[in-house]
Amino acid sequence: MIRVLIADDDAIIREGLKMIIESQEDMEFLGAAPEGRKAVEMARNLRPDVTLLDIRMPLMDGIEAAGIIMEEKLSVPLLLTTFDEPELILRALKTGVIGYILKNSPAEGILSALRVVHAGGTVFQADILEFIRSRVTKDPMGQKNIFEAMLSPRELEIVELVAEGLSNQEICEKLFITNGTVRNYISTILEKTGLEHRTQLAVHYLKNGKGI
């Protein structure tokens, strides 16, 4: 069973998400929070597998809540967002959150995203990432520093080591992480930046002064 906690300040959305989750045989609805601080408190008590968080909430937003949840290893956060908050999404990307879905996604898309992040995968809807990249590249400074804008400090560290020519095994030995973790990081980095393989990653990083 995938144990799910949700957090949204809109009662209608909370109820709708609850109904979607409770309709699935492989999911268990644990509860709902109206804001980020309560979501963190509930995550500490309930230890959900996945916490579905709205980005915009009072008292503590979904990004800050996701950061605490990840730091304390309470759950895997999945963020609900809209097209009108690219700056918030960029901020969330830097925290290392690996799952984003649009609020207007169909039920099937939300359920699929919950299953993917629970299994250790990443969820970045193509239209979200394309929108973020288009906003970043409209700004000359953003274009120059898209890596810095979109990647977390650990992901930037991985990119730098890839650019230095280190293999996955060498990276995992240097950073004291597993080979599988390195592969997951690189997959997420490629998905965020829109590049196709690690060679492109290294070339863009070196050619453009640590940016695309």
Nearest to 161 by CA among 211, 207, 206, 212: 206
**In the numeric block, which tokens belong to residue 35?**
């804001």
- Are 49 and 151 members of one domain? no
The pLDDT value recorded for residue 141 is 45
Write out the residue range of the structural domain in which residue 173 sits. 139-207
The pLDDT value recorded for residue 210 is 53
Q: Domain with 195 in it: what CATH number?
A: 1.10.10.10
Task: Give the CA dihedral 136, 57, 19, 78, nearest 10 degrees.
Answer: 40
> Structure pTM?
0.71
- Are 21 and 120 members of one domain? yes
Rounded to the nearest 5 percent, the helix, strand and coil shares of the chain are 55, 15, 30
Sorted by sequence, the CB contacts under 8 Å of residue 162 that are 6+ apart come out as 171, 186, 198, 201, 202, 205
Q: State which of 92, 126, 160 marks the end of a domain.
A: 126
The pLDDT value recorded for residue 196 is 81
Sorted by sequence, the CB contacts under 8 Å of residue 2 that are 6+ apart come out as 26, 27, 28, 49, 50, 114, 115, 118
The pLDDT value recorded for residue 134 is 66
Contact present, 63 and 55 (Cβ < 8 Å): yes
Listing DSSP states for 29-89 in one string gives EEEEESSHHHHHHHHHHH--SEEEEESS-SSS-HHHHHHHHHHTT--EEEEEE-TT-HHHH
Q: State which of 126, 154, 184 marks the end of a domain.
A: 126
**pLDDT tens track, the chain, 212 positions:** 999 999 999 999 999 999 999 999 999 999 999 999 999 999 999 999 999 999 999 999 999 999 999 999 999 999 998 766 667 777 887 788 888 888 888 999 999 999 989 988 778 766 666 666 666 555 544 444 567 767 778 888 999 899 888 999 999 999 999 988 898 889 888 887 778 888 888 877 776 655 44
Sorted by sequence, the CB contacts under 8 Å of residue 58 that are 6+ apart come out as 9, 34, 35
For 208, phi and psi rounded to 5 degrees? -110, 25
Q: State which of 126, 159, 187 marks the end of a domain.
A: 126
